[in-house]
Amino acid sequence: MNIDTLAGEGTDLKGKFKTSLGDATGDSKLQQDGAADQLSGNVRKGVGAVRDFAKRQPVATAAAAALFGFGLLKTLRSSGARV
């Protein structure tokens, strides 16, 4: 577990609290803020999970990054972009 995972968990919990409070009070702005915080927290937790995976599996991570880069380069070349 790393700082991104922990921060994401905190942001997600804060968002759930805001959403619940917005539901209880009927405040749609607070509900939207809560939903945005939950989304942000989930994204940050995902980044943390990728970092944890990269730390545990560096060779697999390098291979995946190379495949992604190759695919991106191939897509850019086929679209006519100058690379």
Q: Which amino acid is at 6?
A: L
Cα-atom radius of gyration of the chain, to the nearest Å?
19
Other CB atoms closer than 10 Å to residue 51's CB: what's the count?
Answer: 16
Any domain includes 48: yes
Any domain includes 16: yes
| Structural domain harbouring 51 | 3-57
pLDDT at 9: 97
Q: Which amino acid is at 57?
A: Q
Q: How many domains does the chain have?
A: 1
Report which DSSP code applies to 26.
T
Any domain includes 66: no
pLDDT at 34: 97
Any domain includes 36: yes
Six-digit token string for 16: 């759930």
Any domain includes 23: yes
Any domain includes 69: no
The tens-digit pLDDT sequence of the chain (83 residues) is: 899 999 999 999 999 999 999 999 999 999 999 999 999 999 999 999 999 999 999 999 999 999 999 999 999 988 876 65
pLDDT at 78: 87
Any domain includes 67: no
Any domain includes 51: yes
